[in-house]
Structure 1
Amino acid sequence: MNKNVLITGTSSGVGLESAVLFAQNGYKVYATMRDINKAQALKEKIKKDNLNIILLPLDVTDKQSIQTAIETIIEKDGKIDVLLNNAGAGFAKTTEQSSEEEIRWVTEVNYHGVVFCTQAVLPFMRKQKSGQIISVTSVGGLVGQPFNELYCGAKFAVEGYMEALATYVSDAFNIKISCVEPGGISTEFMKSAIGKTAVDGQFATGEYLPIFEKYMAGNQKRANESGESVYQTGLEVAEVILKVAQNENPPIRIRTSKWAEDFCRLKTQADPDGTKLVSEIKKSFL
């Protein structure tokens, strides 16, 4: 029986590319998004290549929406083989200049959504004694960066959540856990981040503005001088995700490019794929 995969956030970028790539490689894909009216690009790809992709509405910040989507899949297939937690949103603004609503939003979308979707699929994967949960995090889930503290905080939370989950569900229930950690992605994600976070057209104002201008100049310099591109396409990241899904012994965490690997080196060099630490934790606690 072919494996199925539930993917969140498939209207564009990594999610859309992952849905197409998984379908091209024999998976039955349940491609979900908050606003199903934004599925036109994916619908065109489905029609063009006759892909086995089913579109479903799913808002990762709404537990009822998550439950309804999962019940639909279980009713059709009786199982969920892979959950790809892809939905997320960029956010770059100082803590001082962020509203309570914005702080709650960036946490809901990037962290709580992962927890709620995982919580909803776990009973079925536990019962079937198999499954895989892959979460798209970020190098920002390992390395804190200027003006990204709220986004990084949410992604750090995902990394800790997934790592802790891996210490016991993998052996007990044969549920594999992985974090995929891209660097910059040249997709709608970046445009959305800018549109969501700018204050009067700027990310920072007042005394923060000179620091922000220096930060932006440094970003531009790195992008110009880097022999290995900082920004990947959504497809390049999706290809790494697919390899993780096809791996019998997938890593706990994996960066998606040489640039991302180098960027996180000081955090990861002792245990690049995270498996040594998880193994040590199992020995200590279990």
Structure 2
Amino acid sequence: MKRNVLITGTSSGVGFESALLFAQKGYKVYATMRNLEKATELQTRAEIEKLDITILQLEVTSIESINAAVATIIEKERHIDILLNNAGAGFAKTTEQATEAEIRWVTDVNYLGVVFCTQAVLPYMRAQKSGQIITLTSVGGLVGQPFNELYCGAKFAVEGFMEGLATYVSDPFNIKISCVEPGGITTEFMKTAIGKTTVAGEFATGEYAPIFEKYRTASQKRASESTTSVYQTGLEVAKVVMNVAETENPPLRIRTSQWAEDFCRLKTQADPDGTLLVAQLKDSFL
């Protein structure tokens, strides 16, 4: 029997590449996305390669949409083996200058969407006494960065949520929890982050302007260079996700490149993959 995987945010980037890669490896893939008008490229690839991919609508900021997608899969398959929480969006702006709507948006997309998708699949994984939840987080979930504090805050929340969840669902219910932590990715994600940041004239005045200009210049320099030491392709990150999915005892945390590893070293050197901390928490509380 094929293992089936539910992936969020598959219209581009890591989600797109993961959907193809899982299907190529023989999984039944339920590839979901907010806007089905962006499904053409994935659908075409699936048809050309004869891949077992079903595309569904799922908006991670809507509990109704999440539950409807999960219900559709359960009705057809009776089980969900892997959830890949991939959907997310970048955001860079000072806390002072971000609007209430923007703060709620970045939190909903990057944190609450993960919580509600996870909540939706847990009853089925618990009942079947097996499952795996893999979440694409970020080095920003471990290290706060200038002008990214709202995005990093959401990703820190994801890391804490998954760390806490791992302490009590892994042993009794055989549900494996992993956070995959990339650095820079050359995908639509970056374009979204830039689009949400570079509003014309927004940082032209005020005391933050010279600080932001230094940040913007450095970011653009890194992006234009696209050095392999910093930025990865969506496929490169998707391959790390696949390795996690096919590891018998996957880590709680894994960085996707040497650059990401080095960037987070001060936070991770005592317990690089999170295994020791989870064990300690189990001993302390359970």
User: What are the superposed Cα offsets for residues 23-53 of structure 1, whole Å, 9 maximum, x if unpaired?
Assistant: 0001000000011111111111111111100
> What's the counterpart of residue 112 of structure 2?
112
CA distance in structure 2 between the partners assigned to 1:203 and 1:89 by the alignment: 21
Aligned to 1:77: 77
For 1:270 and 1:224, how far apart are their aligned partners in 2? 34
Question: What TM-score results when the alignment is normalised by the length of structure 2?
Answer: 0.96
| 1:177 equivalent in structure 2 | 177
| Counterpart for residue 31 of structure 1 | 31
1:136 alignment partner in structure 2: 136
Give the share of equivalent positions with the same residue, in percent. 75
Shift in Å at residue 184 of structure 1?
Answer: 0.4
Q: Provide the C-alpha distance between the structure 1 equivalents of 2:201 and 2:242, rounded to a whole number of angstroms.
A: 37
Q: Which residue of 1 is the match for residue 255 of structure 2? A: 255
> Aligned partners of 1:225, 1:52: CA distance in 2, in Å?
37
Q: Work out whether residues 197 and 203 of structure 1, in 8 Å CA contact, stay in contact via their aligned partners in 2.
A: no
- Which amino acid in 1 is paired with 2:237? V
Task: Determine the C-alpha separation between the residues in 1 that align with 2:280 and 2:271.
Answer: 11
Tell me the equivalent position of 1:19.
19
Q: TM-score, normalised to structure 1's length?
A: 0.96
Q: Which runs of 5 or more residues in structure 1 are unaligned?
A: none
Q: Which amino acid aligns with 2:88?
A: G
Corresponding residue number in structure 2 for 1:58? 58
- 1:146 aligned to 2:146? yes
Distance 2:88 2:163 in 1: 19
Give a deviation string over 1:12-32, Cα, whole Å, max 9, x none: 000000000000001000000
Contact 1:137–1:180, Cα closer than 8 Å, also in 2: yes
- Amino acid paired to 1:21: L
Q: Distance in 2 between matches of 1:105 and 1:270?
A: 34
Is the 1:223–1:230 Cα contact (8 Å) retained in structure 2?
Answer: no
What one-letter code is carried by the residue in structure 1 that aligns with 2:48? K
How far did 1:199 drift? 2.5
Q: How far, CA to CA, are the matches of 1:272 and 1:162 in structure 2?
A: 16
1:210-249 aligned at under 5 Å gives the runs 210-219=210-219, 229-249=229-249
RMSD: 1.6
**Counterpart secondary structure, 1:167:** helix
Distance 2:49 2:201 in 1: 40
Alignment CA distance shift 1:36-1:203 (3 Å): farther
Amino acid at match of 1:186: T
Name the residue aligned to 1:283. 283
Q: 1:189 to 1:224 in 2, by over 3 A?
A: closer
- Determine if the alignment matches structure 1 residue 122 to structure 2 residue 122: yes
1:198-223, CA deviations, whole angstroms, 9 ceiling, x for partnerless residues?
A: 33265674211110111233445667
Unaligned runs of 5+ residues in structure 2 are: none
Distance between the aligned counterparts of 2:97 and 2:127, measured in 1? 46
Q: Cα 1:202–1:13, aligned 2, differ >3 Å: closer, same or farther?
A: farther
The verdict on how the C-alpha distance between 1:53 and 1:199 changes in structure 2, with shifts beyond 3 A counting, is same
Partner secondary structure for residue 134 of structure 1:
strand
Match of 2:8 in 1: 8
Distance 1:37 1:133 in 2: 27
Name the CA distance, whole Å, in 1 between partners of 2:188 and 2:203.
18
Matches of 1:221 and 1:198, distance apart in 2 = 15
* Residue of structure 2 equivalent to 1:89: 89
Query: SS of 1:206's equivalent?
Result: coil
* SS state at 1:111 partner: helix
Alpha-carbon distance in structure 1 between the residues aligned to 2:143 and 2:104: 21
Instruction: Give the CA deviation at 1:172.
Output: 1.3
Structure 1 residues 22 and 202, CA gap change in structure 2 (3 angstroms): farther
For residue 132 of structure 1, give the secondary structure of its aligned residue in structure 2: strand
Aligned partner letter, 1:180:
V
1:194 Cα shift?
1.4
Following the alignment from structure 1 to structure 2, what is the Cα–Cα distance between the partners of residues 124 and 278? 23
